[in-house]
Amino acid sequence: MPAALVLLASVAVFAVGYRYYSRYLAEKVYALDPGYITPAHTYKDGVDFVPTNRHIVFSHHFISVAGAAPIVGPAVAVFWGWGPALAWILLGTVFAAGVHDFGALVVSVRHKARSIGTLAGEVISKRSRTLFLVIIFFLLTMVNAVFAVVISNLFVSYPAAVLPVLIEIPLAIAVGQIVYKRRTAALVPSIIALALVYVCIPLGVMFPIDITGVSEAMGMTPNTVWIILLFVYAFVASRIPVWMLLQPRDYINLHQMMLAFVVIGLGVIVGWDTIVAPVINSDVPAGSPPWFPLLFVTIACGAISGFHSLVASGTTAKQIDKETDSRMVGYLGAAGEGTLAVCSILACTAGVVAASASPLADWRGLYSDFGSASAGATGNFVEGVGQFANNIGVPLEIGVIFAVVVVVSFAATTMDTGVRLQRYIVQEIAEIVRFRPLARNLTAATLVASIVPLGLALIPGDFAFGTLWQLFGTTNQLTAGLALAVIAVWVTKRGRNPLAILIPLLFLLVMTSWALIVNLVSFLRSDSLIDLFLLAPLDFVIFALAVWLVVEAGLALRKAFAARRAGELPEAEETPSEETPADPKER
């Protein structure tokens, strides 16, 4: 199968979904109001609440949710064959991810830009807020830990990528100063900044930054040093105002993503590379994880992701200028991530072995077992993209470093957002238990949000991809199901048809609960102490909390439907006002 045909067909599917299905959601399900005063205006503080042009908000949201997960998940999942992976990405993006991301953003904007965990308490029940916040805390901890490991592995394997990645930070700060201090349009400064980043790629090839000597002098591995440095950076980046680094870096990365799509698209078409992997891989080794249900949690982003609801309700909702911007930001952002996931499939099934004399045999060598597929996922993607770039005349080495810079830039942006969101969650939990020093202290909360995932990321061995990714995937998709439950109850209470939400909700709850049970059995049978005494109890606790929340959501839905049958009026929308301030910890 020519990879170009798969790419073009996938983009067409996403375009149709945005053109027609998102309009239906906007008009009939979420009923967007262009005159609604958004929290970004009402609670404007110049730090978190900042009314922002929809294109810049889209860049922030898209790049924050994209990260490395829609690359890693599909790159692993093609182990079972590219057919099931592609089908889940297409259907999941159009009918689940778009509904989820769009809905979480709208509901948050209608409730003072509160987090999805807090909204669970308001929309479903007070008990569910605490339960949801605990699950979200686990999810964010795993997200930040996994992405730190992804970046550190790439820095160690490709030291030529360090310079262009590091130079993006001061360039983004400069763009932020130009745009927000001088009121200049962001387009030209961000494009100039991106050009300077790419000028540094050949410089990085000539002068790679290898910290092996420094790490040995410190008695650490290079990966450990990079992980620590990454969390120091994430602490600072998530503590400063969003306009200073987060937004301008996101805008630069949006252009970088567009360029990456152009490079991959042209490379696929010009090279006319063929997908050599089987549609369904019937030659998997005995003892491999079953693709059903684990495929639906291995592709933890790229089809639907609970992390998106945290971004939408945690940072994006605080920047929405007009409520009608939610359609573009939420649904189109999900479609963009689905496109990235499709590109990951093509890079790992066509590009990575395009120059091989025996492509199928070499592909089977890369995906000989599930462990190899997991460990080599990111490397397979960057090598595949490097080959696509080579098809259009870019030297292979430069093309590979270009791909690494793209992956690291997205993953680092997700860490920025992830630690900021973790800070919100830490403050909310501290508020519930009435530990005011932590609830009111942004620096202390950010420190906690950085140290906890840092400890998880520093666990030695192939912990991040060998075991943690599986639990991250199930927790992530379960969070998506729970967010859909909040959205479904909210829509039902307002007298609208929740069917578009209930279908993906039921599917996700079944798949993720099933996957949690499969993982729990696997952890209990393992000889690893980490699996037995860390992951198994964690898996069980998350599953127990999920069951409790499902019951709460079911009761809330039944009550909402009963109210509709009784002819009760829908609940009044919560209109922000200066007399009703947002949560102090979010200001």
Please write the tens of the pLDDT for every residue from 6-42.
Answer: 999 999 999 999 999 999 999 999 999 999 999 999 9
3-state secondary structure of 460: coil
Q: Which helix (H) or strand (E) holds 511?
A: helix 499-525
Q: For residue 289, what is the domain's CATH number?
A: 1.20.1740.10
3-state secondary structure of 581: coil
Mean pLDDT of the chain: 89
Q: What is the mean pLDDT of residues 108-126?
A: 87
What does the DSSP assignment read for 157-191? Answer: H-GGGHHHHHHHHHHHHHHHHHHHHS---SHHHHH
Cβ-count burial of 346 within 10 angstroms (0-12 exposed, 13-18 middle, 19+ buried)? buried
Give the pLDDT score at 463: 60
47, 179, 196, 267, 360 from 199: Cα distances, Å: 32, 22, 5, 21, 36
Give the pLDDT score at 512: 85
* CA 38/CA 111 separation, integer angstroms: 9
* CA 466/CA 381 separation, integer angstroms: 18
Q: Which helix (H) or strand (E) holds 508?
A: helix 499-525
Range with the lowest mean pLDDT among 198-207, 332-341, 428-437? 428-437
What sign for the dihedral angle of Cα 387, 392, 396, 398? negative
As a whole-number percent, the residues of the chain with pLDDT over 70 amount to 95
Give the pLDDT score at 584: 36
- Between 122 and 419, name the one with better pLDDT: 419
Cβ-Cβ contacts under 8 Å for 446 (sequence gap 6 or more): 235, 238, 239, 419, 420, 423
Q: What is the pLDDT of residues 346-387, one digit of tens each?
A: 999 999 999 999 999 999 999 999 989 988 999 999 999 999
Whether the pLDDT of residue 440 is over 90: the answer is: no
Q: What is the DSSP letter of 354?
A: T
Report residue 13: phi and psi, to 5°. -60, -45
CA Rg, the chain, in Å?
22
Whether the pLDDT of residue 187 is over 50: the answer is: yes
Q: Which of 297, 248, 245, 387 is nearest to 77 (CA)?
A: 297
- Longest Cα separation, the chain: 73
Give the pLDDT score at 200: 96
Whether the pLDDT of residue 451 is over 80: the answer is: yes
Cβ-Cβ contacts under 8 Å for 192 (sequence gap 6 or more): none
Residue 277 sits in which domain range? 3-586
Q: What is the pLDDT of residues 286-328, one digit of tens each?
A: 888 899 989 998 997 889 999 899 889 978 999 999 999 999 9
Q: What is the pLDDT of residues 520-535, one digit of tens each?
A: 898 898 887 877 887 8
Q: In total, how many domains does the chain have? A: 1
Q: What is the mean pLDDT of residues 393-420?
A: 92
Q: With contact defined as beta carbons under 8 Å apart, do 285 and 369 qualify?
A: yes
Residues in the chain: 587
Whether the pLDDT of residue 585 is over 60: the answer is: no
Per-residue confidence band for 135, with pLDDT thresholds at 50, 70 and 90 = confident
